[in-house]
Amino acid sequence: MNMQASTVFGPPAPRALAEMQLPMVMMRDILLKTVFRKNVDVVTEIARAICLPVPVAQELVDLARGQKLLEATGTLHANSGGEMGYQLTEAGKARALDALTQSEYYGAMPVPLEVYAEQVKRQSIRNIQITRSQLTGAMGHLILPDSLLDHLGPAVSAGRSILMYGPPGNGKSSISNGIRDALGDRIYIPRAIEYAGQVITVYDPIVHTAAEEQEDDPTALRRSAGRTDTRYVLCRRPTVITGGELSLSMLDLVYNPTARTYQAPLQLKATGGVFIVDDLGRQADPPQALINRWIVPLEESRDILALQSGEKFEVPFDTLVIFSTNFHPNEIFDRAALRRIFFKIKVDGPCQEDFLKIFALVARKKKMPIDEDTLIYLLREKYPTIDNAYANYQPVFLIDQMIAICDFEGIPSQMSPELIDRAWANMFVREETIVH
């Protein structure tokens, strides 16, 4: 696949405490909690733990020393380049414990929401231009009609919402994943952001895939003037995939009452990437309610979240949202909701020619010899019974069934009309009355 090189400029590292735009008490308390929890005692280690350049970490250490919360141990660490060691004073320990009761958060210094919003603009998904070759490369394992790619390409490049609908088993989920794979570049995800003195963790190893060259060594931090802000992690554009389990509450800030910290909701973690709502219509919440929740974000590129206190605030919404459903859109949405979804793309079953291409592709992959008479039997005898409704999932299903039967019977993988009959019987359930 033709992967795009990363063209996003990394956020510059802060050069002084004055540039941080965070409350000074908050920064000092995170420093004390980190020293207490991680037992770091030299500035290069402290700098790495709180993800700040060494000179800025030194400023913070000096501030805490001035308030008699940290003290020099008077020993030089030979294994740390002869650095001075530091430890918490009794007052520092008391302050760290008190700060931990207010919020368990420690480690990477958060990025102020306004600063993060600027980085979101720099790496917006709407800045991406997907070429036909990139999209077809990412969809290489799928047999798709050109007309479908004609609609998908502009939709992905626009970075707007997409609704894919059509009968089940025709690859809507696979197409969504292909779109994700076509976005080959990388962006910067903050470990945590700050709003109104509250810390919201964003980086999530389950959602985000960190780039291999993420630097994490003290010598890099020493030279960090003009370098990238290590409060961010360089990652592939994120993808969040949800299905029938999605509920409206999952789109709210997650508050941990024990740790007194917040975790970003799914759509905030997906910023700069793709949010896939698969199987729309199978959730506990009605589809109309789910779409209504997305109206402001989709139209205004901003989302509104609420703190425990009830205070509401805006966060950037820069996400390609893909809705996928087996229902006809008119069955589950009103016209106002449909108008707000930018692209509506029907994903139909394959024509007979494409069905045969898929069948041959799957057979070759699974080392199943093709038998022409069996294929003719399948097309002439079986498909007319279901009005020739071909679907992308059927070749895999039928071939897997025939392989399973051959394995059971102890014969080499092969296809025959009799095996097709047995496989077909498992693909559909006959209408019949069950006597209780």
Any idea what the CATH number is for the domain that residue 30 is in? 1.10.10.10
pLDDT score for 81: 63
295 lies in some domain: yes
pLDDT score for 418: 95
**Domain identity same for 142 and 171:** yes
pTM of the model: 0.81
pLDDT score for 174: 81
pLDDT score for 79: 60
**Domain identity same for 306 and 400:** no
Domain stops at, among 319, 346, 373: 346
10 lies in some domain: no
72 lies in some domain: yes
**Domain identity same for 388 and 285:** no
Domain stops at, among 290, 314, 346: 346
**Domain identity same for 419 and 275:** no
Domain stops at, among 107, 122, 141: 107
269 lies in some domain: yes
**Domain identity same for 79 and 207:** no
Domain count, the chain: 3
Best CA proximity match to 232, nearest among 255, 220, 216:
216
Any idea what the CATH number is for the domain that residue 134 is in? 3.40.50.300
pLDDT score for 160: 80
pLDDT score for 1: 37
**Domain identity same for 387 and 402:** yes
pLDDT score for 267: 94
64 lies in some domain: yes
**Domain identity same for 244 and 126:** yes
Cα separations in angstroms, 15 against 40, 69, 109, 197, 221 = 22, 24, 14, 22, 12
**Domain identity same for 330 and 243:** yes
Any idea what the CATH number is for the domain that residue 362 is in? 1.10.8
**Domain identity same for 327 and 274:** yes
pLDDT score for 336: 81
The label of the residue with tokens 């985000």 reads 208
**Domain identity same for 262 and 123:** yes
pLDDT score for 214: 45
- Residue-wise pLDDT tens for the chain (436 aa)? 334 445 567 899 999 999 999 999 999 999 999 999 999 989 999 999 999 999 999 999 999 999 999 999 877 665 656 788 999 999 999 999 999 999 999 999 999 999 999 999 999 998 888 888 888 888 877 788 878 888 888 888 888 889 989 888 888 878 877 887 888 789 999 999 999 999 999 999 999 999 875 444 444 444 444 589 999 999 989 989 888 899 999 999 999 999 899 999 999 999 999 998 888 888 999 888 888 888 889 888 999 999 999 999 999 999 999 898 988 888 888 888 888 888 898 888 889 999 999 999 999 999 999 999 999 999 999 999 999 999 988 999 999 999 999 999 999 999 999 999 999 999 876 655 555 5
11 lies in some domain: no
Asked if residue 2 lies in contact with residue 183, where contact means CB atoms within 8 angstroms, the answer is: no
Range of the domain at 39: 23-107
The label of the residue with tokens 């905030």 reads 268
15 lies in some domain: no
**Domain identity same for 203 and 269:** yes
**Domain identity same for 317 and 366:** no
pLDDT score for 182: 84
Best CA proximity match to 231, nearest among 408, 87, 47:
47
321 bridge partner residues: 275
203 lies in some domain: yes
